[in-house]
């Protein structure tokens, strides 16, 4: 058990009146951010399962719905208490733990306790706001440790997975004739706007992808292709199997993109031709000077040796 987990255990057993605070690494903060967006996505999965159960009323759909309800609880518990598998640190301060208990947990409980799909959907907005605020808090904590951390674009990149799952939920509701397609189209527009901002800058993203970050540009393009396929199956009203498969492909590309967006940019040193000319010219002069000095030293040594031989035997030149 990790030391932070032991500290929580001491707190619960009354051996400590406060939760001890621990410093997290940037990677550990990133794990918390990832689980936060995962919880946001699970809320959308929960609503989809609710919709299928209400429509079909089968045992299989009820079991799927209950499984999604359990996943919501499990994700919340991981965020609050940490986890060994998958690895996740506990909340590193009493303030954050209290926030989880007093703000996040009630929002999740309200969604889990919904007795109808309409009630669940009406409660999802509040949970989304809570998760976005928590994501912002974690990003701010990373910035305190690592000022070069690209917090704004990481948050946008991570939230894309929630938007993708929201679009899937809205497509399913439209397929069941429970809503029109306007909500789905609005979410798609949000996703595509965020993609443009991630590439070219704008909105919360302060700058475009650097030309030097070919890795990032390549992964951004991969997301674009996955999104085009996913969007196509949603608009066409394809089978749920096709929608689910396209979603999983997109989520995999989004996860990879978010990890790359989290790597701080390092601008390359100036490589203009005159810089190369100056650098290589200077290096060349140094090499020539060293060679010239070596020749002069060698010649001086030969003169000294010749003078020494002549002093010993005047007949030798």
pLDDT for 129-144, tens place per residue? 999 999 999 999 999 9
pLDDT at 23: 85
- Token pair of 106, please? 């009630």
Q: What is the pLDDT of residue 102?
A: 95
Element spanning 127, H or E: helix 117-145
Rounded CA separation 182/96 (Å) = 37
- Cβ contact 80:103 at 8 Å: no
Residue 120: what pLDDT?
94
pLDDT in tens, 245-292: 999 999 999 999 999 999 999 876 655 443 433 333 333 333 333 434
3-state SS assignment for residue 316: coil
Mean pLDDT of 89-106: 93
Give the mean pLDDT of the chain.
83
2.60.40, 3.10.450, 1.10.3470, 1.20.120: CATH of 152-268: 1.20.120
Residue 3 class from Cβ within 10 Å (0-12 exposed, 13-18 middle, 19+ buried)?
A: exposed
- The domain over range 1-149 is classified in CATH as 1.20.120: yes
Local structure of 237: helix, strand or coil: coil
CB 131 within 8 A of CB 37: yes
Between CA 96 and CA 100 the distance in angstroms is 6
Would you give the distance in Å from CA 32 to the centre of its chain? 10
Q: Which residue, chain included where needed, has tokens 């009323």?
A: 57
Report CA Rg, the chain. 31
d(CA 241, CA 313): 103
More confident residue, 315 or 236: 236
Binning pLDDT at 50, 70 and 90, where does residue 121 land?
Answer: very high
Give the tens place of pLDDT for each residue, 222-233.
Answer: 999 999 999 999
Backbone angles phi, psi at 206, to 5 degrees: -70, -25
Distance between CA 291 and CA 268 in Å, rounded? 33
Residue ranges of domains in the chain? 1-149, 152-268, 272-317
Cross-strand bridge partners of residue 205: 202
Interhelix angle 151-175/117-145, nearest 10 degrees: 170
Helices (H) and strands (E) in the chain, counts: 11, 0
What is the C-alpha separation between 184 and 114, in angstroms, rounded? 22
Identical topology for domains 1-149 and 152-268: yes
């Amino acid at each position: 058990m990790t030391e932070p987990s032991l500290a929580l255990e001491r707190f619960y057993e009354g051996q400590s009146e406060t939760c001890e605070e621990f410093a997290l690494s940037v990677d550990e903060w990133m794990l918390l951010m990832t689980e936060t967006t995962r919880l946001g996505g699970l809320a959308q999965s929960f609503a989809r399962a609710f919709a299928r159960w209400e429509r079909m009323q089968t045992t299989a759909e009820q079991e799927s719905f209950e499984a999604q309800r359990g996943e919501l609880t499990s994700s919340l518990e991981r965020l609050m208490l940490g986890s060994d598998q998958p690895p996740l640190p506990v909340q590193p301060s009493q303030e954050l733990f209290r926030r989880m208990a007093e703000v996040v947990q009630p929002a999740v409980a309200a969604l889990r306790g919904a007795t109808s799909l309409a009630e669940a959907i009406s409660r999802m907005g509040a949970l989304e706001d809570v998760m976005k605020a928590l994501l912002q808090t974690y990003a701010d904590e990373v910035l305190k440790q690592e000022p070069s951390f690209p917090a704004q674009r990481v948050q946008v990149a991570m939230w894309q997975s929630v938007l993708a799952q929201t679009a899937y939920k809205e497509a399913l509701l439209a397929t069941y004739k429970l809503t029109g397609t306007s909500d789905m189209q609005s979410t798609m527009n949000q996703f595509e706007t965020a993609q443009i901002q991630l590439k070219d800058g704008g909105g919360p993203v302060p700058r475009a992808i650097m030309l030097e970050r070919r890795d990032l540009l390549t992964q951004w393009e991969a997301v674009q292709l996955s999104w085009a396929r996913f969007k196509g199956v949603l608009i066409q009203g394809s089978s749920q199997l096709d929608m689910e498969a396209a979603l999983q492909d997109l989520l995999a590309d989004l996860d990879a993109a978010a990890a790359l967006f989290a790597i701080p940019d390092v601008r390359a040193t100036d490589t203009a031709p005159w810089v190369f000319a100056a650098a290589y010219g200077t290096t060349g002069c140094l090499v020539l000077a060293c060679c010239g000095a070596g020749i002069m030293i060698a010649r001086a040594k030969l003169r000294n040796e010749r003078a020494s031989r002549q002093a010993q035997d005047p007949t030798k030149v």
